[in-house]
Amino acid sequence: MTTGVETFEFQVEARQLLQLMIHSIYSNKDVFLRELISNSSDALDKLRLETLRDGDLEADTSDLHIALEVDKEQRTLTVRDNGIGMSHDDVVQLIGTIANSGTAKFLKELKESQDAAASQDLIGQFGVGFYSSFMVADEVTLLTRRAGEGQGTRWVSSGEGTYTIEQVEDAPQGTAVTLRLKPEDAEDHLFDYSSPWKIREIVKRYSDFITWPIRMAGESAGSSSDESGSDDDSAPEDGGTPELETINSMKALWARPRGEVTDEEYNEFYKHISHDWTDPLETIRMQAEGTFEYQSLLFIPSRAPQDLYMQDRKRGVQLYVKRVFIMDDCEALMPEYLRFVKGVVDAADLSLNVSREALQQDRQIQLMRRRLVKKVLSTVKDMMSDNAERYATFWKEFGRVLKEGLLGDFENRDAILEISSFGSTHDAEQPTTLRSYVERMKEGQEHIYYMTGESRSIVENSPHMEAFQAKGYEVLVLTDPIDELWVDAVPEFDGKQLRSVAKGQVDLDDEDESSEGGPEREQQKKDFADLLSWMTTTLNEQVKEVRLSSRLTTSPACIVGDTHDVTPALENIYRAMGQNVPQIKRILELNPTHPLVSGLRTAHGERPLDSGLAETAELLYGMALLAEGGELSDPSRFIKLMAGRLEQTL
């Protein structure tokens, strides 16, 4: 018995995506089966977990499995599971419209993508693998009933403009996806997916490690031409229904000896748990024995997922207890700054009914987390020394995220610093490690110098850099927003203080152990004392002090902060986060050898009451602010003053 059939139209973005699927944006169409089996495996995991948490749930868990059913005459393939299933609302929200899978953003990214590999990656990231079924099927039917509910739902679509949804009274628990297969087309890499031999081959290659049995009817002897000609002992002699065979090994990869698992198997397992379509950059295995035992199989992806910086992203690794799936995204096992790490942790001594809240306080979980983090960081360090190209890929994709750990993970701060890379004036193309920076430090140099900024060009052309460039000192070029935060939290590396070239007093002559400029500098301070005092008073609303600079060689002025001041960029970050930060006055430094500054000193000495000199001081401050990429509080006034001065020169 069924209720009325409702017909709906796909949204514009959904139709575009389905057309891409139907016309195959990737050459390997076999992956559609991997996606469907992966969905079934997740549904079985969720049902077992739900029954552990809800003892009153009316659900049959006596024989949880995935079944593959082939009908060569009707040319259909069905992937069936008796897992958690979906309610009518679930179907509407998750299947009926694919806008929830990020369709609009997916299509935008897809249009910008130039290669098939990137397209595959996007599909995996946006979770629309179910729709890869339309690559091989003219019509897809989904029949499902959520465990504990009495009514099921049927969803049908040909992948064109519409789909139908109807409620069904007699649907079995779980989900069945039936594909009405397209004809075989060798030129389009479209194989005969009604062939049991082909189905077995795909399962063995992609889904052999699934921990649930994947069952399929054994073939009769009469169908041997479809394979290699060998007889199948599973076929009954009376010609009845063949027995079901389990066609996957069901061996958890993390529990098998390393020598028994191929790299291809690891790669496919990674794709299964991450829904990524590219091989991982690195595979990490761990096995702990002793007070408590656990096994882990972790992966570092080869590219960052699209949701890496989204607030509502899911993170964490899968948690199992004695091969029993507990949760999909156990955040307690992996810190926020390692949210890109995927994988499985299988513990031997945890409760099967453990809650997320309890995990946060569990001593074993905390100890496992410490060891897992150290293992990931040491793996990256090994990658840095053994395979520079792979490390460069890692840093390009995840370096910005990894540096977040410098703010909160005090225990591993030194390890994170060791494996971090930064832009530098030493080489415009290749980033450097802090270890390499220290090894290149000039004789007598005491500090590690850095400058933060929005871009490399802004930093390189900043007046703050002039003296350092003139004396050949290397400066780290830090342009990630996170750099503004961690540099204040990390005081030193290898006994060397980290010093901003845009903060505090700079006296490179002391580092060079040169005393040449000492008496000259003292004389300059006396000569400029009146000007500095007058400018400090004149610009008191903008700056807290005007002083002579030792960091300028060609520019007339620059603006610096006190050693412990918050930078303007950091002020903006805090304000964007909703925090009320009082505006901090900074320091205006003057280059005493610049003609504009020395001329202003002379003019002030000769006519201290000239109102035009105050405007010159204001222009000098404005130019210094613009030079560091800052924003003028009153741009129109600055332009008016500048235009007036230019007019006087004509």
Question: What value, to the nearest 5°, has the Cα angle with vertex 347 and ends 344 and 350?
Answer: 130
Give the tens place of pLDDT for each residue, 640-649. Answer: 999 998 988 8
Question: pLDDT at position 219, please?
Answer: 60
* Residues ≥6 apart with Cβ < 8 Å to 519: none
Question: pLDDT at position 231, please?
Answer: 41
Provide the whole-model pTM. 0.71
Q: Rounded CA gap, 527 and 598, in Å?
A: 10
Which residue has 């390189």 as its token pair? Answer: 460
In whole angstroms, what separates CA 459 from the centre of its chain? 26
Give the tens place of pLDDT for each residue, 358-387. Answer: 777 788 889 999 999 999 999 999 999 999
What is the length of the chain? 650
Question: pLDDT at position 291, please?
Answer: 75
Residue with the bigger pLDDT between 118 and 576: it is: 576
State the helix-helix crossing angle for 635-649 and 611-627, rounded to 10 degrees. Answer: 120
Tokens standing for residue 386:
């053994």
Q: How many CA atoms lie within 13 A of 81 on its CB side?
A: 26
Burial class (CB in 10 A: 0-12, 13-18, 19+), 536: middle
Give the tens place of pLDDT for each residue, 241-256. Answer: 678 999 998 888 898 8
Q: What are the strands, taking DSSP E only, across 524-595? A: 543-548, 557-560, 586-590
Write the DSSP assignment of 256-277 as a string of letters.
S-GGGS-HHHHHHHHHHHH--S
Q: How confident is the model at residue 406 (pLDDT cuts 50, 70, 90)?
A: very high
Residue with the bigger pLDDT between 515 and 36: it is: 36
H helices present in 465-512, as ranges? 466-471, 483-489, 508-511
C-alpha closest to that of 399 among 481, 500, 282: 481
Q: Rounded CA gap, 23 and 25, in Å?
A: 6
Question: pLDDT at position 100, please?
Answer: 47
Which residue has 């690891």 as its token pair? Answer: 266
Tokens standing for residue 564:
């412990």
C-alpha closest to that of 405 among 328, 338, 495, 494: 338
Q: Is the dihedral of CA 158, 163, 167, 171 positive or negative?
A: positive
Question: pLDDT at position 517, please?
Answer: 54
Q: Please give the mean pLDDT across all residues of the chain.
A: 84
Give the tens place of pLDDT for each residue, 135-156. Answer: 899 999 999 999 999 999 999 9
Q: Rounded CA gap, 624 and 318, in Å?
A: 53
Residue 157, pLDDT above cutoff 80: yes
Binding-site entries: 35, 39, 81, 86, 101-102, 125-130, 175, 356
C-alpha closest to that of 154 among 96, 211, 193: 96
Contact 183, 116 (CB under 8 A): no
| Helices and strands counted in the chain (H then E) | 22, 23
Give the tens place of pLDDT for each residue, 494-510. Answer: 999 999 998 887 766 65
Question: pLDDT at position 49, please?
Answer: 85
Binding-site entries for ATP: 35, 39, 81, 86, 101-102, 125-130, 175, 356
Beta-strand relationship, 586-590 and 543-548: parallel
Q: Rounded CA gap, 131 and 158, in Å?
A: 11
In the chain, what are the domains? 14-218 (3.30.565.10), 253-383 (3.30.230.80), 420-500 (3.40.50.11260), 519-649 (1.20.120.790)
Tally Cβ neighbours within 10 Å of residue 521. 14
H helices present in 585-634, as ranges? 595-606, 611-627
One-letter amino acid identity for 323?
R
Contact 169, 151 (CB under 8 A): yes
DSSP state of 233: T
Q: Rounded CA gap, 170 and 173, in Å?
A: 9
Q: Rounded CA gap, 91 and 88, in Å?
A: 5
Contact 406, 413 (CB under 8 A): yes
C-alpha closest to that of 131 among 170, 179, 168: 179
DSSP state of 505: -
Q: Rounded CA gap, 416 and 556, in Å?
A: 39
C-alpha closest to that of 316 among 397, 324, 326, 99: 326
Question: pLDDT at position 353, please?
Answer: 61
C-alpha closest to that of 207 among 254, 170, 253: 253
Tokens standing for residue 258:
């390393």
Tokens standing for residue 524:
């300059």
Segment among 333-337, 379-383, 565-569 with least mean pLDDT: 565-569
> What is the 3-state secondary structure of 397-413?
HHHHHHCCHHHHCCCCH
Q: Rounded CA gap, 379 and 365, in Å?
A: 21
